[in-house]
């Protein structure tokens, strides 16, 4: 997560009362950003500092949440940001569609505050661990490449000496 003390959570919903409910649940522990349209959500996800997690409604005018999620997951800059759908759509097929598009979780309205807090906290932990592992892997790859280059030079030197 990006160096600030609190993770950034983006709430995307076209209904102010739904935003207010999530804001009341999460405001103490997170920096909250809000979007009421899908295109604005995508813009906020592409702009630094990027959110660490997105809470996304499905039913919105214009671009629906499924399309927002699809676009976020297609963009290399935003594809790793965890998306949790928070929606009144409670059919199994709706949930399956959301998860197949790349969402990490699916919550139905009306939300339970303890469940929202737990899911957000857990997915942020997983995201943080994933970012840490990626940094470690990048560092190991860089070190391995440097060792290979060093060894290749040693082999060349030994061949010249012969």
Tell me: pLDDT of 76 over 90.
Answer: yes
Cα–Cα distance for residue pair 151/148, rounded to 1 Å: 5
37 Rama class: left (phi>0) / alpha (psi -120 to 50) / beta: beta
> How much is the pTM?
0.82
The pLDDT of residue 133: 83
Q: What's the pLDDT tens digit per position in 6-27? A: 999 999 999 999 999 999 999 9
In the chain the domains, ranked by start, together with CATH numbers, are 8-161 (3.40.50.2300)
User: Cα-Cα-Cα-Cα dihedral of 130, 135, 137, 138, to 10°?
Assistant: 140
The pLDDT of residue 143: 85
Positions of E strands within the chain: 8-12, 31-35, 53-56, 83-87, 105-108
Q: What's the pLDDT tens digit per position in 79-122? A: 999 999 999 998 999 999 999 999 999 999 999 999 999 999 99
Task: Write b or e for each residue in 51-79: b if 16 or more Cβ atoms lie within 10 A of its Cβ, otherwise e.
Answer: bbbbbbbbebeebbbbbbbebbeeeeebe
């Amino acid at each position: 997560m990006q160096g600030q003390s609190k993770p950034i959570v983006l709430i995307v919903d076209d209904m102010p009362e739904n935003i207010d409910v999530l804001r009341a649940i999460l405001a103490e522990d997170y920096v909250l950003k809000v979007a009421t349209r899908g295109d604005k959500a995508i813009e906020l996800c592409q702009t630094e500092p990027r959110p660490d997690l997105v809470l996304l409604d499905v039913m919105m005018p214009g671009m629906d949440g499924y399309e927002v999620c699809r676009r976020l997951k297609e963009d290399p800059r935003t594809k790793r940001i965890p998306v949790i759908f928070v929606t009144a759509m409670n059919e199994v097929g709706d949930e399956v569609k959301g998860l197949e598009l790349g969402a990490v979780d699916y919550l139905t309205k009306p939300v339970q505050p303890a469940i929202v807090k737990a899911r957000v906290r857990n997915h942020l932990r997983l995201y943080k661990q994933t970012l840490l592992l990626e940094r470690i892997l990048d560092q190991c790859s860089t070190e391995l490449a440097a060792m290979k280059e060093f060894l290749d030079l040693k082999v060349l030197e030994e061949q010249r000496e012969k």
